[in-house]
A and B are shown apart, each in its own frame.
Chain A
C-alpha cells in the first residue's frame, strides 16, 4: 500500500498530460452548423411546445399552414390558398407536394388531426386555450379543409402557424427524444438530454433541400461561456442572450459578424392601477417623463434596443407612429407630481415624495436596469424599493396583482389583438394578462371591434386609435423594443435574422468553406 501512494500524483499528472496532448476534438460532423442556445428545449412536439427554444427548433422540423416572414407578415407555407368564405369560416387548400420525413404525404387529414389533438382536453395541450375560438375543423377533400369558428375572430389566423404532425401521432413520447415526424427542412437526428439537439437535412424537402448538412443546437447555459466557445471556434451562430457589453467586444476582438436587427420583443413597466397613487394618470405620465430611456438604451443596452412608444413595434402592420411620445423631462415630471398632489417635502433633500416597490426577476441585466431606473426616479423625488424574485414567485405575484410596479417583456407579438389580452377590462388574470387591472370602456369597445372584423383597413384604424389611447393613458410605461442580436462567424452565409429570434432562415443558410 505505501508504495502505491506515489502512483496517485503520478497517475494524475499522466492523465493531465495525455489530455493536454490530445487535440481538442471537434464534436460535430462536417457541414453541420453549430448554434448555441441557452437552455435545452423542453418540448419539440408543436402541439405542446411553449418554451422559446422548443418552438424555434420545432419550426425547423415542422411546417405550418402559414408562417411569419422577416417582416412579421404571415405568408402561406403549407397552405396554397386561404379564403374567407364568411367571417367565421376559413377555407384552405393545401400544397400537394409535401411529404413527412417518413415518406407519408401530408394531407388535410393530418392538419385536422393536429388541431383536434390540441383541442382534446385529455391531451392537456397548453395551446388549447389559444384555439378557443375554433369550433370545428372540417375536411372537405384530401387537400382541402375548413376551419369553423364560433364567431368572427380575426386574430385566429395567428393560430395557423402551429406545426403539423401526422395522423395518429402518439400523445406523449414513449422514448426520450422521440417526436412525431415533421415535414420541415430538417429532421431530428439525435437529442441528447441537456446537451444538444442534432438536426439533419431533409433531402426531400418540397422547397429546395437546405444547403446545410445539418444543424447542431448546443446547450451552453452561461452567457460568458457561450462567448468563450464562440471565440474558440466551437460555435458558428448565436442569437440574443448576450451581455450587451460583449457585443462590441465580439466584433472587435474576434472579427465575428455582429448585427443588431429590429425586433418585436417589448420591454415595459407594468403599473398597478388599483394603487391609490398610481391610479392617477398624472403620476404615470410623470414616471414616463422621469425615466431617461435613451440613456438606458445607450448605456445599459449598448444600443441593442430601440426606445418604444407602445406595445406594437414598427414592424407590426398595425403600428401607429402618431402617438404621444414621452421624452426625458425630469422638470416636467416634478411639475406633474406637484400637480397630482405629491409635493416634494424637502425640495432637493433626501426625503421622497412617496415610495413604490418595483418587482423584477433575479436576472442580472434586469436588476441592473431596475437599479438605473431607481436612480432616475430618485432625481424627481420618487423612492423605489427594488424587490427581485425568482421567476415562479414573481409571476405568481404579478398575476395576483400584488405589486406596484414591475418590469417584464412581451415576446412574439404578431397580431395587434394582443392589446385585448393586455388591456381589455375582462382580461384580468386568470382570464388574460391585464395584470394592472386597467379598465377603459372606450378602449374595450375598440378592442372588441378589432377582433370582430376581418377588414384589414378597418382594423388598422381601430388599432391606431387604441394605441393613441394607450400612449396617453399609460397603463404601461413603454421602455424599448429589444433588437435581435445575431453573432455569427463570417463563414455562415445567407442567414436572415427574424424579429423574434426565429431560426427558420437556417433552411437557406450555408457554411462557406473557409480559405485558411
Chain B
C-alpha cells in the first residue's frame, strides 16, 4: 500500500517531459471545464501547473534535504568524533541555531540573496540541518568506543576514513528515515515561505506557492487550492508512510 502510493506520486515527475503547456494561456478566466482541473486567475491550466509544480516541489524537497544532510552529517560527525572542546563549540552553535526562529533566517536570506529557487533551497536547508547533525553526533558518540572503530584506528586509518568508511554506513538507516520525513517537511515548509512571500518566484509554480496564490480565492474558486492541495497532501502522506515503513523494517532488522 505504501510503496504503491509513493510510486504513483513519483510518476508525475516523468510526465512533464511532454510539453504540457505551462504556457500562460492568458485568457484571464478562472475555472472552466475545458481545462480538466480548471484554470487559475491568469487563465493558466491548473493540471499543467500541478505537473510542473511537482517537479519544483519535489526538487525543493530533495535538494533541501540533500544540502541539509551534507552540512548536518559533516558537522555532526566532526562534533561526535572529535569530542571535547570542538564538540562543545559545535553543539552550542547548533543550540543557537535551533533556538533561533527560522522565519527570521528565511527572511534574512531572502532579503540578502533575493528571489530565486536556489535561494529558497539554501534558506530551507540552513534551517533544517541541525536535526541531522544532532542525530549523527549522537550515533557517533555511542559508536565511537566500539571495537571495530578501535581496530580501524589501530590499523592507522586517518579519522576521515574511519568516519566515512566505518561509522557512516551504520548511520544510513536512521538518516534515511529522517531524510524521508525531511523531504515531506521541506515541501510543506516551502509553502509556508510562499505565504511570507519568500517562496519560489513567479511565474514558476510549486504546490506550496499555488496553494498560497489560491487561498484568497477559497470562496470563489476553491479548485485553485483543492487540486494542488490534494497533490501536496498525497505526496507528503506517501513520503511519511514510506518513512514509517522503512523505520519499521529497519528497526526490526537492528533488533
Contact = CB atoms under 8 A, between A and B. Distances in A.
B201 A390 contact: no
Instruction: Find the residue from B114, B198, B215 having the highest chain A CB count within 10 A.
Output: B114
Contacts of B28: 295, 299-300, 372
Interface residues of B, number: 26
Contacts of A362: 196-198
B206 interface: no
Nearest to B44: A371
A242 B194 CA distance: 19
Contacts of B42: 300, 368, 371-372, 375
Interface in B124-172: none
A388 B115 contact: yes
A368 B217 CA distance: 13
Interface in A284-334: 295, 299-300
A372 B196 CA distance: 22
Interface string A366-379: 01101110111000
Contacts of B26: 372, 375-376
A228 to B, nearest CB: 8
B115 A387 contact: yes
Interface stretch (A10-18, A32-40, A123-131, A243-251): A243-251
A27 interface: no
A5 interface: no
Contact of A364 (B201, B212, B220): B212
B218 interface: yes
Contacts of A376: 26
A364 B216 contact: yes
A392 B111 contact: yes
Interface of B: 24, 26, 28, 30, 41-42, 107, 110-111, 114-115, 196-198, 201-203, 212-213, 215-221
Nearest to A378: B24
B216 A224 contact: yes
B220 A371 contact: no
Contacts of A375: 24, 26, 42
Per DSSP, chain B at the interface is loop
Interface of A: 223-224, 227, 243, 245-246, 249, 253, 295, 299-300, 361-364, 367-368, 370-372, 374-376, 386-390, 392-393
A361 B212 CA distance: 15
Contacts of A392: 111
A492 to B, nearest CB: 22
A253 B212 CA distance: 24
Contacts of A389: 110-111, 114-115
A295 B201 CA distance: 24
A362 to B, nearest CB: 3
B215 A224 contact: yes
Contacts of A295: 28
Contacts of A368: 41-42, 202, 213
A367 B202 contact: yes
Contacts of A374: 203
11 contacts: A224-B219, A249-B220, A253-B219, A295-B28, A300-B28, A362-B197, A362-B198, A371-B203, A386-B203, A389-B110, A392-B111
B201 A388 contact: yes
A243 B216 contact: yes
A392 B26 CA distance: 31
Contact of A246 (B111, B197, B219): B219
Contacts of A367: 202
Contacts of B218: 224
Contacts of A224: 215-216, 218-219
A249 B26 CA distance: 22
B197 A390 contact: yes
B222 to A, nearest CB: 12
Contacts of A364: 212-213, 216
A363 B197 CA distance: 7
